[in-house]
Amino acid sequence: MKLLNYKLIIFDLDGTLVDSKIDILNANNKTLKYFGFKPISRSQLKGIVGQGIMGNINFSLQINKEHASEKLKKTMFKYFYNFYKKNLFVKSNVYPGVRHFLKELKKRKIKTAVASNKLENLTKIVIKKAQLNDYFKFICGGNTFKHKKPHAGMLNALLKKMKINKKDCLFIGDSEHDYEAANNSKVDFLLKQNGFTQKSKSYFKCEQFKNYRSLTNQI
């Protein structure tokens, strides 16, 4: 894959740019326990990250075969949001090599953007705390446009906003939600391995990479 062929590279956030699993797990389990539900394990978290706060709550309850009313889930959402907003970059870290890779893309005038299902304001806070905000032309979250991943609408709206053709765009992500969003939008996809997915490597019919150092060498 020749990265110089692209005018825009879009990144997912959690599991792609930032290892945020511990902070998300802490917020998730603190919420569950506060409302009397069972916490989930770190391995189970991989299967739910990427669908936003309400997705985390819904899938956590499903995993433990528990039920909550829609009214209660809205209250849980507020609790999760308020706690996570204050604690979203406590244990999180930028993956090794990310900054150098972004610097190299910037040198070559390749535009970059972020497309996360996390709420837009939380996505921007994470990017700022990670000291990555100077690299991205546009940052969108799950509530920025009408649709979120894996619906094609999110990437389509982002491309329209940035006035980039699909053939000139690459999406880099770590999960099936990212992979399916790229397929639905018909843009090229590159998988970062060891992210937040429980799917096997064989599920992803695309090129893959293990770390950003190896990816930088492809520029």
Q: What is the DSSP string of 186-202?
A: T-EEEEESSSS--S-GG
If asked whether residues 31 and 15 sit together in one domain, one would say no
Three-state DSSP at 184 gives helix
Where residue 46 falls among pLDDT bands split at 50, 70, 90? Answer: confident
- How confident is the model over 10-30, as pLDDT tens digits? 999 999 999 999 999 999 999
Q: Which of 12, 19, 178, 188 is catalytic?
A: 12
pTM exceeds cut of 0.85: yes
DSSP secondary structure letters along 87-125: STTSS-EEPTTHHHHHHHHHHTT-EEEEE-SS-HHHHHH
If asked whether residues 112 and 176 sit together in one domain, one would say yes
With beta carbons less than 8 A apart as the criterion, state whether 140 and 36 touch: no
- Report how many domains make up the chain: 2
With beta carbons less than 8 A apart as the criterion, state whether 114 and 108 touch: no
Q: Which domain holds residue 110?
A: 3-20+93-216
12 noted as active-site residue? yes
Domain termination site, one of 86, 107, 131: 86
Domain termination site, one of 86, 105, 121: 86
Rounded Cα distance, 36 and 18, in Å: 30
If asked whether residues 101 and 27 sit together in one domain, one would say no
pLDDT at 43: 83
pLDDT at 119: 96
With beta carbons less than 8 A apart as the criterion, state whether 134 and 97 touch: no
pLDDT at 47: 73
If asked whether residues 41 and 64 sit together in one domain, one would say yes
Kindly report the average pLDDT of the chain as a whole number.
95
